[in-house]
Amino acid sequence: MAYRELWYLIYKKMPKAYFVIGVVLSVISTIAALWLPQMISQLLNRKILEKILSHKLLLVAMLAFFIGVYILRGLSSYLVGLSGNRAMVKLQRYFFNHILNLPVTALDSFQSGDLSSRITSDISGLVRIATVVFPQLFLNILSIIGGVVFLLRINVQLTLVSLSLVPLIVFVLWPLNKKLEYYYQKHQEYLGKISGEVNHKLNHIRLVKAMLAEEDEKKGISRLLNDFMLNFNKVLIVIAAESSLISSMILFIIVVCLLVAGVEVSRGSMSFAALTAFILYITQMIEPVSDLSDLFSELAEIRGISYRIMEILHLEKEKTLSDDSNLEGSIVFDNVSFSYDKSKKALNNVSFKIDSGQHIAIVGPSGSGKSTVFSLLMKFYSDYRGSIKIGGRELKELSHYEARKNCSYVSQENTMLQGTILDNLMYGKNKKTAHFRIGRILSDLKLTDMVVNLSKGLDTPITETGTGLSEGQKQRLNIARGFMSDSSIYLLDEVTANLDVETESYVVKAIQKLGKHKTILTIAHRLKTIKNADAIMVLDENGSISDIGKHSDLTKRSILYQRYLQDLN
């Protein structure tokens, strides 16, 4: 996406009427303000002053003109700001929606805090530049050009002296702005890193405290904040240098103009009223010229911010084609190989066939590719070799929506979301779940009493850490959420890992009941969970299938499975 497309996207999102009216009013007020020095200088003419004072209506009109100029400026600033604010919210919504539609492979390379920083600070900065800085830049240039025109009408010689240093100012500002652009890009990168690091560590605060790693984390974030500070110090140095240079040059121009003008007045070739008007125009131009230096430093942010936003918008989204058809639950892997990186294959020429309605357990050592099988079936990753079919259809031909609609995935992590328990259970594709199904699933998993004893039942609010719930309760709620949708395939990743023996027993029975006539793939380290499966798939450390069969058969012929059972004991 080119820069012009990014700006087009911003202006497309803003309310056109407010922005256009605001800019038009700004132009009118700027042009009107250019006449103020002329009007003020005329007050030094005794005849004109007496005429104004003798005609009260004329005096009121002048006062109304003065006040009206600044009322228009205030109103235009409000309208442009309002349109920018609405554009920012719409663009942030668009950006967030884009992120949600990105594949897992793309999101894996970014910290969540870094992405949130791009949504908030980067986009707000970019919209502010587009809706405030750019219009202000245009108005300042208009004000300067208008001022120069009026100055030329008053005295050409003085005006040329005033403009003589403009090329020098540009020559000085150009290299400084290139430096500033680089430092601002680093500034945004550091903000993203800090946000990501803080977010990551706070999400894992229990691990930090359990490992007594507070001091290590303090040192780590301190180094990052120190680098951020040093880089921003460079930004401040460049901005200060720019500001000082421009201010000194402007002051020098004013002093030179006053000296030349003084000579002109003493010779009688220039009236005192004209000198007053000239000084007022020079004074009036100080603010827009000074603002230009600030605006140029802000414009230096554009490349850094735009790059970070465009980096995300360049990423290809997942297919969002929707199909409400239900697939039957057969699964076929045919010579499937997959690698997260080039160092080692997570799956190596894996082939198996599962009929609809079968319950298959997957076992193997850590790193053997058990969870990878689930990730591929959920289309979290699509760059595998070989063929995968669900319900007789090639997985690569299915949209991400179709694959995930027909597969329910229960992670080994007990993920809770901010909201109520009911919000957690009816999340996403579960939102149309009938209430009788919710009650039945909670009853099968023996969660009914727990919910009844909560202060507000299903409407009890919980945090993302599930404060107030035990690990076993969170795990059963996690399982309940997975079974809320009537999918044809259920993928269960060590879902009984945090349960005691008694709880595990009725959870396994509940899973068998809820998953009746459904295809179930289970990753488990508990013998009770896997021994009654229709078949057990044994993966070795190389990501290959060592054997497939029933528990009774594997205990006789598979050395790897026998070793696995010994580890369980």
How distant is the alpha carbon of residue 304 from its chain centre?
15
Q: Quick check: 379 and 373 in contact, CB under 8 A?
A: no
Please tell me the least confidently modeled range out of 132-141, 178-187, 317-326: 317-326
In Å, what is the CA distance from 561 to each residue of 232, 370, 518, 547?
A: 58, 15, 26, 8
CA distance 339 to 342: 7
Once rounded to an integer, what is the mean pLDDT over residues 221-240?
84
CA distance 551 to 537: 10
pLDDT at residue 300, as a whole number: 64
pLDDT digits (tens, 9 = 90+) for 521-531: 999 777 777 88
Closest CA to 188 of 290, 86, 307, 101: 307
pLDDT value at 333 more than 90 = yes
Two structure tokens written together for 229: 């500070």
CA distance 376 to 357: 20
pLDDT at residue 149, as a whole number: 83
Mean pLDDT of the chain: 80
In Å, what is the CA distance from 229 to each residue of 83, 164, 176, 184, 364?
A: 33, 38, 19, 12, 48
Q: Which domains does the chain have, with CATH numbers?
A: 3-200+230-313 (1.20.1560.10), 331-568 (3.40.50.300)
pTM of the model: 0.69
pLDDT at residue 2, as a whole number: 45
In Å, what is the CA distance from 422 to each residue of 138, 459, 470?
A: 53, 6, 17
Q: Specify burial of residue 266 (Cβ count, 10 A radius: 0-12, 13-18, 19+).
A: exposed
Once rounded to an integer, what is the mean pLDDT over residues 448-477?
84
CA distance 86 to 15: 7
Q: Identify the H or E element spanning 106.
A: helix 104-107
Instruction: Tell me which of 177 and 334 has the higher pLDDT.
Output: 334
The band of 321, judged by pLDDT with boundaries at 50, 70 and 90, is low
- Neighbouring-strand partners of residue 536: 361, 549
How distant is the alpha carbon of residue 28 from its chain centre?
38
Once rounded to an integer, what is the mean pLDDT over residues 164-168?
67
Two structure tokens written together for 45: 């003419």
The band of 14, judged by pLDDT with boundaries at 50, 70 and 90, is confident
| First-residue to last-residue Cα distance in the chain | 58
Q: Specify burial of residue 398 (Cβ count, 10 A radius: 0-12, 13-18, 19+).
A: buried
Which residue reads 């013998």 in tokens? 527
Q: Identify the H or E element spanning 332.
A: strand 331-338
Closest CA to 392 of 366, 425, 353, 442: 353
CA distance 131 to 89: 13
pLDDT at residue 545, as a whole number: 92
Once rounded to an integer, what is the mean pLDDT over residues 44-56?
67
Single-letter amino acid code for the residue at 177: N
CA distance 63 to 67: 6
Longest CA–CA span in the chain (Å) reads 119
In Å, what is the CA distance from 113 to each residue of 107, 108, 120, 208, 446?
A: 12, 12, 11, 18, 37
pLDDT at residue 354, as a whole number: 93
pLDDT at residue 55, as a whole number: 73
pLDDT value at 481 more than 80 = yes
CA distance 442 to 422: 11
Q: Where are the beta strands (DSSP E) in 200-358?
A: 331-338, 347-354
pLDDT at residue 376, as a whole number: 93
> Taking each helix axis from N to C terminus, what angle separates 435-444 and 471-484, rounded to the nearest 10 degrees?
140
pLDDT value at 461 more than 80 = yes
φ, ψ for residue 500, nearest 5 deg? -75, 170
Q: Specify burial of residue 276 (Cβ count, 10 A radius: 0-12, 13-18, 19+).
A: middle
CA distance 183 to 444: 59
Instruction: Tell me which of 88 and 477 has the higher pLDDT.
Output: 477
The band of 1, judged by pLDDT with boundaries at 50, 70 and 90, is very low
Three-class SS state of 412: coil
